[in-house]
Amino acid sequence: MPHVQPAGGASKPTVVIIGTGWAGACLVRTLDAAHCNIVVLSQRNHMLFTPLLPQTCTGTLEFRSICEPVTRIQPALASLPNAFYRTMVFDVDFDLRSIGCISVGVLGAGKNVPVKSFDYRYDYLVLAHGARPNTFNIPGVEEHAFFLREISEARGIRRRLVQNIMQARLPTTESEEQLRLLHIVVVGGGPTGVEFAADLADFLTQDIPKIAPALQAKFHVTLVEANEVLGTFDVTLRNYCAKRLNKIGIEVKKAVVAEVLEDSVVLTSGEVLRCGLVVWSTGVGASPLNRSLKCDKNPQGRLCIDDHLHVLRDGKPLDRVWAIGDCAADVKQPLPTLAAVASRQGKYMASTLNGLLASPPSPSAPFKYVHLGSMASLGGTVALAEFKAPATFDIKGFRAFLIWRSAYFTMLGSIRSRLYVAVNWIGSWLFGRDVTYIAEISEAKLWARLASDGATKETARRRLVAQAQKNRVVMPPPEASVTAVPPSFSNDASLQK
Ligand SMILES: Cc1cc2nc3c(=O)[nH]c(=O)nc-3n(C[C@H](O)[C@H](O)[C@H](O)COP(=O)(O)OP(=O)(O)OC[C@H]3O[C@@H](n4cnc5c(N)ncnc54)[C@H](O)[C@@H]3O)c2cc1C
């Protein structure tokens, strides 16, 4: 495996950041490139504004509006010796200060896509690679449910939603199949699941009457939650949420999922929910990288860190290695997996490194987190907000909606994102949500091939029928049967679901 020596030589130390999520982006934004070479390794070249991700699934917002390229967040990354590399980190040797990376060549450009590995050396390392959805090892979740953490997953949900509507409208689709296609099951009653279900309810009441009124009565949204919906909020807000979900037509089921199948969700009670789309939003678990790192981990698989965010190995801080965001948790006081925590840890880490690399170096105080509160939108112009500091109080309804919208609008990282989001919100309000269906090229090719095969078979059948009528012989079967068995035609996992 080749070793890549950071460009820029020994003149400045190299700080490597793994991940471009909330934690990595907030760190890289204010890290001072005058004192170090900054190298970012991540599977994606942008930061994603996750609180608004559910709104992209129904076309309220466009995907790119909530993404910020990392070179725009830290312009120094555009020129060497600073760099961004799109790669998957699979291991870190903390003794050799070496990071194991895998890169994949250009997909779709040829048959043999090169997959290459390399090692990258660091002087200082910050792990900010987040977490993955928790499936609780329930069979069928990985294969048949959609997660809602990445843009590619939100795109998969939006495509499936529109495909189901188009399929349900075909004259060949029977009523029972229409009901299945238009039943959406959301698993997980946390803020993300609730916000997604509420935005879906808006789509069904505001847009379906314009684009497919005959189908409106057949739509159904079920929210499955094993405990309390919005369980981290106080009881008044939980009751308010329950009433609101009921009012906007979302069925809440207190149940546990036993299995997810291609066309249904099976509950431990034995009940089978036949559906056309399953969205899985039940919290996070350890990422593959967390599993391979040789350092201390807590029972949830998060990396153990101390109050200065140093990664611990055998209970002792590793030299020059920190971890921030969802991938890590303080051994004494684990914090929730929230953007609010990740972003503040990112800012703290930037000021720690800026102080450490300045001359003379200045030490940092321990990281402290004060939880200001939580919010959730409940569809239409309704939201709820629970404030914890500086004072404890709740707000619900339209006022909370205004706070929710303006808080997230101001938190968007750039004027560009604010402009795009504002235009999308106004556009969806004026013209309705965008249900344009744009297939991936691999999907479009498969669709065209299956349709063309079907047309050939049907033409042959009709010719035989005509011939049979002429000769008065036995008729062939009434319909051509084309079975679509998608080969591994796409590089986009969501397409194969
Ligand atoms: C739909 C949704 C809505 C949310 N809403 C809110 C909200 O309203 N308020 C709130 O406080 N929190 C919210 N959260 C939670 C919040 O988004 C997370 O806590 C936050 O994203 C964590 O930031 P992070 O940087 O640790 O990880 P992430 O944002 O997940 O970023 C991880 C980064 O690491 C990269 N990466 C992962 N593995 C590797 C690897 N092996 N090699 C290289 N790169 C890798 C990824 O590509 C990504 O760039 C929401 C989450 C979701 C999914």
Candidates 152, 113, 145; CA nearest to 492 is 152
* DSSP states of 121-139: E-SEEEE----EE--TT-T
Are 391 and 446 in a shared domain?
A: no
Total number of residues shown for the chain: 497
Of ligand 1's listed atoms, the one at least distance from the Cα of 20 is: 49
Which of 50, 384, 404 is the pocket-test mutation for ligand 1 (most atoms within 8 Å of CB)?
50
Are 447 and 471 in a shared domain?
A: yes
Q: What total number of domains does the chain contain?
A: 3
249 with 200: CB under 8 angstroms? no
Would 367 be classed as within a structural domain?
A: no
Beta bridge partners of 329: 304
**Would the pLDDT of 6 be above 60?**
no
108 with 491: CB under 8 angstroms? yes
Rounded Cα distance between 245 and 226, Å, is 16
Are 277 and 300 in a shared domain?
A: no
Would 436 be classed as within a structural domain?
A: no
How confident is the model over 308-318, as a mean pLDDT? 96
Position 492 scores a pLDDT of 46
Rounded Cα distance between 158 and 494, Å, is 11
Are 406 and 461 in a shared domain?
A: no
- Which residues touch 413 (CB under 8 Å, ≥6 apart)? 25, 29, 47, 49, 68, 73
Rounded Cα distance between 207 and 232, Å, is 32
Position 112 scores a pLDDT of 85
Distance 49 CA to ligand 1 centre (A): 9
pLDDT digits (tens, 9 = 90+) for 135-178: 999 999 999 999 999 999 999 999 999 999 999 999 999 999 99
Are 400 and 255 in a shared domain?
A: yes
Rg of the chain on CA atoms, in Å:
26
Would 368 be classed as within a structural domain?
A: no
Are 333 and 399 in a shared domain?
A: no
pLDDT digits (tens, 9 = 90+) for 382-410: 999 999 877 889 999 999 999 999 999 99
**Would the pLDDT of 2 be above 70?**
no
Would 385 be classed as within a structural domain?
A: yes
Are 147 and 30 in a shared domain?
A: no
CATH number for position 408: 3.50.50.100
**Would the pLDDT of 462 be above 50?**
yes
Distance 489 CA to ligand 1 centre (A): 29
Position 427 scores a pLDDT of 94
pTM of the entire predicted model: 0.90
Are 214 and 193 in a shared domain?
A: yes
Angle at 321 between CA 316 and CA 322, to 5 degrees: 90
Question: 3: pLDDT confidence band, cut at 50, 70 and 90?
Answer: low
Q: Of the candidates 431, 449, 472, which is a domain's last residue?
A: 431
Position 442 scores a pLDDT of 85
pLDDT digits (tens, 9 = 90+) for 405-427: 999 999 997 999 999 999 999 99
**Would the pLDDT of 302 be above 80?**
yes
Position 495 scores a pLDDT of 43
Are 19 and 65 in a shared domain?
A: yes
Position 439 scores a pLDDT of 85
Position 138 scores a pLDDT of 96
Cα first-last separation, the chain? 34
Of ligand 1's listed atoms, the one at least distance from the Cα of 324 is: 26
pLDDT digits (tens, 9 = 90+) for 64-89: 999 999 999 999 999 999 999 999 99
Question: 180: pLDDT confidence band, cut at 50, 70 and 90?
Answer: very high
pLDDT digits (tens, 9 = 90+) for 428-437: 999 999 888 8
Distances (CA, A) of 202 to 59, 381, 434: 11, 10, 13
97 with 123: CB under 8 angstroms? yes
Are 326 and 378 in a shared domain?
A: no
Closest C-alpha to ligand 1, atom 23: 22
Would 115 be classed as within a structural domain?
A: yes
**Which domain range does residue 466 map to?**
441-482
Are 156 and 298 in a shared domain?
A: no
Q: Is 229 in the pocket of ligand 1 (CB under 6 A)?
A: no
Question: 359: pLDDT confidence band, cut at 50, 70 and 90?
Answer: confident
Residue with tokens 């949900």: 157
349 with 322: CB under 8 angstroms? yes
265 with 278: CB under 8 angstroms? yes
Question: 493: pLDDT confidence band, cut at 50, 70 and 90?
Answer: very low
Angle at 38 between CA 37 and CA 44, to 5 degrees: 155
Containing H/E element for 80? Answer: none
Would 136 be classed as within a structural domain?
A: no
Are 29 and 121 in a shared domain?
A: yes
pLDDT digits (tens, 9 = 90+) for 89-110: 999 999 999 999 999 888 877 8
Name the token pair of 182. Answer: 């238009």
Among 39-53, 103-117, 211-225, the range scoring the smallest mean pLDDT is 103-117
Would 240 be classed as within a structural domain?
A: yes
Distance 397 CA to ligand 1 centre (A): 28
